[in-house]
Chain A
Amino acid sequence: MFEYDPVIYSRILTGLTLGFHVIFATIGVGIPLMIALAEWIGIKRNDEHYRLLARRWARGFVITVAIGVVTGTAIGLQLSLLWPSFMQVAGHAISLPMFMETFAFFFEAIFLGIYLYTWDRFKKKIYHFLLLIPVVIGAAASGFFISTVNAFMNAPTGFEIVDGFVANINPLAAMFNPATPTKVAHVLSSAYLTSAFILAAIAAIALLRGENHVYHKKALNLTMTVAAVFAIATALIGDLSGKYLAEYQPEKLAAAEWHFETSTEAPLILGGVLREDNQVEYALEIPYALSILAHGSPGAEVIGLEEFPEEDLPPLIVHYFFDAMVGIGMYLAVVSIVYVLMSRKRSWNELNKPLLWAIFAGGPLAMIAIEMGWFFTEIGRQPWILVGYMRTAEGATTANHVDIMLYLFIALYTILAVTCITVLRKMFKSNPVEKELKDRGME
């Protein structure tokens, strides 16, 4: 391909592992909440359909958890294998949240194991539901702790550099750095949104196929309601994230928006193509919107890329990632809100085909938005691995053969993805809802 450079290969391999892991991590954070809601409603309303929903979701969930666990283990080890110099330095400041993440994961793993094997084991149904609470908390806590580590890399605080060494460390200040609140909130909220949409897509495709069972309608209603709530929450938090960037990482926001010159009344640029002399063509400009996004007022001044030295600028491609993320986020919000509004009115049919197709498309789109968001945030802080302190190239391994490892992992993830899809399809095809309802004597 190109000349062997461990830095490039380390970056690609880390990106690949994280990109693959984040699919399962997002589901891992979000789905337990959906299972818990379904089971709780099932118990409260004494409606076996909802309990079956929880049961079937949980069954598929285990398969994705397995891949989430193994890829999470992979990235945990790869941090040290691919970024030894970075870990040697940053380990002094960030090992607390990483350590606590494993505790949260431990907690979740124990109760998930119990939950999955105690269906129908307790006389009181609610006991079984209670087992899910530590799973939901553990999943959210893992997301929380690991996001603080990433937030630290974007906004390193809680330490000083004395003679090239990290000194005067305050582990809590490092954990609760300025990026933490918006990052954690955005990660959790978007994970719930995405998981709800993925489950909604499953219900939507069943209805589109003409499986007219009330079970699917209940599934769609629950997931879309949750999706609408978290779509609004995600949009609000996204706005706060924009304001955070304007204040702490203006070069990232400016790169996302192709905002070259510092100016007031800055417009927001959608899409477009960048010419060589930084002229933007074919883009849609929304006047004042960037100033509003950045500072909440149409006349506010937004710092442009010209203020930064060339070597500190992130790649301008992040503009597309940013647009894709925001665009899909808006789409998800519109679809879920339209569904909820239509379902409130008796005379409107919320199960019309175009809307069902739109919901179905929302599942994969939501996952793409997650990927785009992470691409934006990670590539947007290049060339830094520890913004302001350590360049990415300084943190990478010097070992040979990172390229071979990259090919090995590409093979591994391909195999895992293919088997995962095959197993999940087989699992649900060979045991459709109608059959299971009959088997359990619910029809």
Chain B
Amino acid sequence: MDYEIIGITVLWTFLYGYLIVASIDFGAGFFSYYSSITGKHHIINKVIDRYLSPVWEVTNVFLVFFFIGIVGFFPSTAYYYGTALLIPGSIAIILLAIRGSYYAFHNYGAKGKSFYQFLYGATGLLIPASLSVVLTISEGGFIILQGEQVFLDYYALFTNFYSWAVVLLAIVSVLYISACFLTFYAKKAKDEKAFHVLRGYALFWSFPTILASVLVFFALSQHNPVHFANMLDIAWMFSLSFLFFLGAVYLIWKKKRLGLAFIFVMLQFATAFFGYGASHLPYLLYPYLTIYDGFTNEAMAIALIVAFIAGFFLLIPSLYLLMRLFLFDSQYAQGKK
């Protein structure tokens, strides 16, 4: 396999990892705040806090990994995306900074400050929206090249149907993924009341999620017909995704095998996300940049892949330990440790 393909696959996998863990995190922040203004906070906040507190830092690393990695493997992305994304990128940084720090302030420092909670709850929904801009502009049509200069066409971006469809999908899927996970976790914690509330959220958000997905398909077929045609070639991945969705919703509806239900949710997004990514290739930024013309030199590619494999052997056992101690330890989840 080409180094280019290995590189982008590694990065895409990390982005997928971020999509899952960050969705759980962002959605949880929102639900935590939402439940506190609707008076259900005492029911579900325990479950949310016990899961989130030990892992919030880890979530952030997935994102850092992706954006450091992409500049490493494909230095030219820094030039195009870096110049074009100054404003949306800076806004995303500020939102991430407010969210991350106020999460810590709220949870470790001044417990019960509802303003801190509002900040980290609200930013949780804005971050996916601001980050999804990157995926939108990768489809082409929003970046203007004038000689050496790179501009982002904000008017085109804000008046585009496709870009809004992506934002919508990002927000609703965050809430859906998060609710599905927390439903599973509440069951694990044997917290029937929280389970009941969270299951309601999961079922509620499943419907808009699938609607938004269809909307994005439709919008993309208008915006970038080439990419859409590539997606049709691997339509089986998206059909599989839909089947996983049905499986997950069914299990949550029936209150059965919730661990499996969440695995289905992960597979639903994995198939859709990798299907989307694979059909986007070879473009990193349509039509200016492909994975071949923006690639780093061979020596660095090998060094990065070696570093990646070595790091992987360090991370997997560590992540396993983290999950053993907090996620799959029912004593901990139930608050007995």
A84 within 8 A of B: yes
A111–B297 Cα distance when bound, in Å, is 34
The answer to whether B64 touches A87, judged by C-beta atoms less than 8 angstroms apart, is no
> A171–B303 contact, CB under 8 A?
yes
A409 within 8 A of B: yes
**Smallest beta-carbon distance A193→chain B, Å:** 26
Which interface class (under 10, 10 to 19, 20 to 34, 35 or more) fits A? 35 or more
Complex formed: what's the CA distance from A172 to B87 in Å? 35
- B39 in the interface, Cβ–Cβ < 8 Å? no
**Count of B residues near A, CB < 8 Å?**
68
Known A-B contacts A59-B108, A70-B100, A166-B297; A87 and B79 likewise in contact (beta carbons under 8 Å): yes
Decide yes or no whether A343 CB sits under 8 A from chain B.
Answer: no
Given A85-B79, A110-B322, A399-B83, also A65-B104 (CB < 8 A)? yes
Any chain A CB within 8 A of the CB of B287? no
Contacts of B94 in A (CB 8 A): 408-409, 412
Stretch at the interface among A94-102, A237-245, A261-269, A356-364: A94-102
CB closest chain-B residue, reference A84: B82
Whether B97 and A63, one on each chain, are in contact in the complex, defined by CB atoms closer than 8 angstroms, is no
How near does chain B come to A88, taking the closest CB pair, in angstroms?
A: 4
Contact check, B75 vs A423: say whether CB atoms are below 8 A apart: no
Instruction: List residues of chain B with CB within 8 A of the CB of A71.
Output: 97
Q: Once the chains are docked, how many angstroms separate the CA of A106 from the CA of B93?
A: 19
In the complex, which residues of chain B have a beta carbon less than 8 angstroms from the beta carbon of A405?
86-87, 90
Interface residues of A in 87-120 (CB under 8 A from B): 87-93, 95-96, 98-103, 105-107, 109-114, 116-118
Q: Is the CB of B93 within 8 A of A73?
A: yes
Chain A nearest CB from B141 CB (Å) reads 19
Q: Is the CB of A95 within 8 A of B304?
A: yes
Contact A172 B303 (CB under 8 A): yes
B308 to chain A, nearest CB (A): 7
Pairwise interchain contact A107-B72, C-beta atoms closer than 8 A: no
Contacts of B318 in A (CB 8 A): 106-107, 110-111, 134
The interface residues of chain B lying within 8 Å CB-to-CB of A107 are: 314-315, 318
A46 interfacial contact with B, CB 8 Å: no
A67 CA to B297 CA in the complex, in Å?
35
**Counting CB contacts under 8 A, is A340 at the interface?**
no
The reply to whether the CB of A66 lies closer than 8 angstroms to some CB of chain B is yes
Majority secondary structure, B binding face: helix
What B residues does A87 contact at CB under 8 A?
71, 75, 78-79, 82
* Distance of A111 Cα from B55 Cα, bound (Å): 10
Cβ-defined contact, A95 with B75, below 8 A: yes
**Chain A contacts of B67 at CB under 8 A?**
76-77, 80
Starting from the known contacts A79-B78, A95-B75, A98-B68, 15 additional A-B residue pairs (CB-CB under 8 Å) come to A65-B57, A70-B97, A81-B85, A84-B80, A87-B82, A88-B76, A95-B300, A96-B300, A106-B311, A112-B57, A114-B322, A116-B53, A117-B325, A169-B299, A427-B110
B residues less than 8 Å from A111 (CB atoms): 318
Which one of A89, A95, A100 contacts B311 once the chains associate, using CB atoms below 8 Å? Answer: A100
Contact of B75 among A88, A106, A420 (CB under 8 A): A88
Alpha-carbon distance A402/B90, docked complex (angstroms): 10
Does B222 interact with chain A (Cβ within 8 Å)? no
Q: Which of B72-113 contact A (CB under 8 A)?
A: 72-73, 75-87, 89-90, 92-94, 96-98, 100-105, 108-110
> A330 at interface (Cβ–Cβ under 8 A)?
no
Question: Could you tell me which A residues sit within 8 Å of B by CB distance?
Answer: 59, 62-63, 65-67, 69-74, 76-85, 87-93, 95-96, 98-103, 105-107, 109-114, 116-118, 121, 134, 166-167, 169-172, 397-399, 401-402, 404-405, 408-409, 412, 416, 419-420, 422-424, 426-427
Which 9 pairs of residues, A with B, have the shortest CB-CB distance? A95-B72, A91-B75, A66-B104, A84-B82, A423-B109, A87-B78, A103-B311, A80-B82, A70-B97
Q: Are B97 and A416 in contact (CB under 8 A)?
A: yes
Q: How far is the CB of B116 from chain A (nearest CB, A)?
A: 8
B319 touches A169 (CB 8 A): no
Q: Are B104 and A62 in contact (CB under 8 A)?
A: yes
- Per-residue interface assignment for chain B, residues 133 to 166, with 1 indicating a CB less than 8 Å from any chain A CB and 0 otherwise: 0000000000000001110000000000000000
Question: Distance in Å from the Cβ of A58 to the closest Cβ of chain B?
Answer: 10
- Which residues of the partner chain A approach B77 to less than 8 Å between Cβ atoms? 80
Contact sample, A vs B, 6 pairs, CB 8 Å cutoff: A74-B93, A106-B65, A107-B314, A113-B54, A114-B54, A416-B97
Partner of B297, one of A79, A98, A167, A397: A167
Does B63 sit at the interface, judged by CB under 8 A? yes
Q: Is B1 an interface residue (CB 8 A)?
A: no
Point out the residues of chain A lying under 8 angstroms from B81, CB to CB: 80
A15 and B87 alpha carbons, distance in the complex (Å): 18
In the bound complex, residues from chain B placing their C-beta under 8 Å from that of A91 are 71-72, 75, 78, 296
Q: How far apart are the CA atoms of A419 and B115 in the complex, in Å?
A: 12
Decide: B60 and A98 in contact? CB cutoff 8 A.
no
User: With A70-B100, A87-B79, A110-B322 in contact, do A81 and B303 touch (Cβ < 8 Å)?
Assistant: no
B326 at the interface (CB under 8 A from A): yes
Knowing A66-B105, A95-B296, A416-B101 are in contact, say whether A73-B304 is a contact too (CB < 8 A): no
B79 touches A84 (CB 8 A): yes
> How far does the Cβ of A17 sit from chain B's closest Cβ, in whole Å?
9
**Pairwise interchain contact A398-B68, C-beta atoms closer than 8 A:** no
- Tell me, in angstroms, the Cα distance from A206 to B2 when the chains sit together: 62
Chain B positions within 8 Å of A419 at CB level: 101-102, 105
Establish whether residues A401 and B64, one from each chain, have CB atoms under 8 Å apart when the complex forms. no
Q: Is B58 an interface residue (CB 8 A)?
A: yes
Q: Report Cα–Cα, A374/B106, bound state, in Å.
A: 32
> Which residue of the partner chain, among B57, B325, B337, contacts A109 with CB atoms under 8 Å?
B57
- List the A side residues contacting B240 at CB < 8 Å: none
Q: How far is the CA of A401 from the CA of B98 in the complex (A)?
A: 21
Cβ of B232 < 8 Å from any Cβ of A? no
Given known A63-B105, A73-B64, contact A412–B73 (CB-CB < 8 A): no
Contact partner of B83 (CB less than 8 A), chosen from A77, A398, A427, is A398
Q: A103-B307, A121-B337, A401-B87 are in contact. Are A92 and B82 (CB under 8 A)?
A: no
| Interface presence of B229 (CB below 8 A) | no
Complex Cα–Cα for A132 and B57 (A) = 16
